[in-house]
Structure 1
């Protein structure tokens, strides 16, 4: 009898281990599917709160370079070489408010920096806030009137608003996509 129990003992243990697991599955409801839903299906799901979906999308959309640029700005708030690429990346992700915050932070650390003024004005132009952008261009041009990048961006801003610079007989530059994207460089 002892030999029968010693041979049956492993089978009995296996049976006892399986019985509790069968209680988790139900015949009328399918268990966990071996197929996972794709990320795009989850993103379109109506069961996810739109605000949560936006936060998830925002978190997943971050580029590792963006984190490095943010870290660089935390260490040196006046680092314009980190601020401009970060603002450009934020603008490309359609986050102009974040881009403006980054540039405002740099302008607080280095008021009057021509590159920061230009970059902020470009973001404002992108948002259709041309008069605010033009004020920044004028401020920067007062410090460096011959700067070709500032002059071109100012003229482009005027053209986007449908105006021409007072006293400038030359036609305003074309606002095609190629030149508009080159402005922020």
Structure 2
């Protein structure tokens, strides 16, 4: 009986994780299309989304391309250009820019972190892991590399290792919103929405939190049936129609997950 209970619990967590992944894809797509925040050309990890192929995305690429032609060895220009290319859907070119940079600046942790991230985004997980680990210095670890490596482990199905790396990063930069966001997503994708909510609330409380973090919080709330609060958070980030569509989608997936439980209880 105990073994059967464990199997049922594992099945529910796996199912919740699959639902979270599907819902997360919807939220991130909405963020790409409808976020209200303005976008700058800085290379910050918390830069808002732009629609690939849009005039704004093309302006970013053009501006960073000109800067790159003038200063091809400048670290911030390299990373800024690669980020602009990635945000415009030009992942292959972004990888090429960073691959060239990593050959020239093999010990540069920030470039290695950016290269590892884009490798992982394109499914090259083992290569990403190798790049990130080779750039790391165990005696003086870089928190960005730790967080990026954690994200790769999450994608490889190693959440415990991923969370250990996130927590190690948080010892270096307490309450860093990008690390808390990754930690929250680790729990969310494992079907542990309450734990995800805890970390995403902490991330969203930071003045440096971006639209993606708050949309992830809205998702964690919605997956628990806290629709009123989820919609309030989403309304601050998305157009009203898109926010309502996201909440309607979450209601539908939860109803499909729990058909015998009826409609989830409204919160607030």
Structure 2 match to 1:125 = 120
Higher relative contact order (CA 8 A, sep 6+): 2
What are the within-5 Å matches in structure 2 for residues 5-154 of structure 1? 63-142=58-137, 145-154=140-149
Q: Identify the match of residue 213 of structure 2 among 148, 172, 178.
A: 178
d(CA) in 2 for partners of 1:87 and 1:58? 15
Give the deviation of 1:62 after TM superposition: 5.9
Structure 1 match to 2:204 = none
Give the deviation of 1:81 after TM superposition: 0.8
Give the deviation of 1:158 after TM superposition: 0.5
TM-score (norm 1): 0.54
TM-score (norm 2): 0.39
RMSD: 3.4
- The structure-2 alpha-carbon separation of the partners of 1:109 and 1:146, relative to structure 1 and needing over 3 Å to count, comes to closer
Unpaired runs of 5+ in structure 2? 1-51, 168-181, 189-211, 217-268
Which of 108-117 and 125-134 deviates more?
108-117
Q: Identify the match of residue 161 of structure 2 among 152, 161, 165.
A: 165
d(CA) in 1 for partners of 2:68 and 2:137? 27
- The structure-2 alpha-carbon separation of the partners of 1:127 and 1:170, relative to structure 1 and needing over 3 Å to count, comes to closer
Give the deviation of 1:64 after TM superposition: 2.9
Q: Is the 8 A contact 2:129 2:149 kept in 1?
A: yes
- The structure-2 alpha-carbon separation of the partners of 1:169 and 1:79, relative to structure 1 and needing over 3 Å to count, comes to closer
- The structure-2 alpha-carbon separation of the partners of 1:144 and 1:126, relative to structure 1 and needing over 3 Å to count, comes to farther
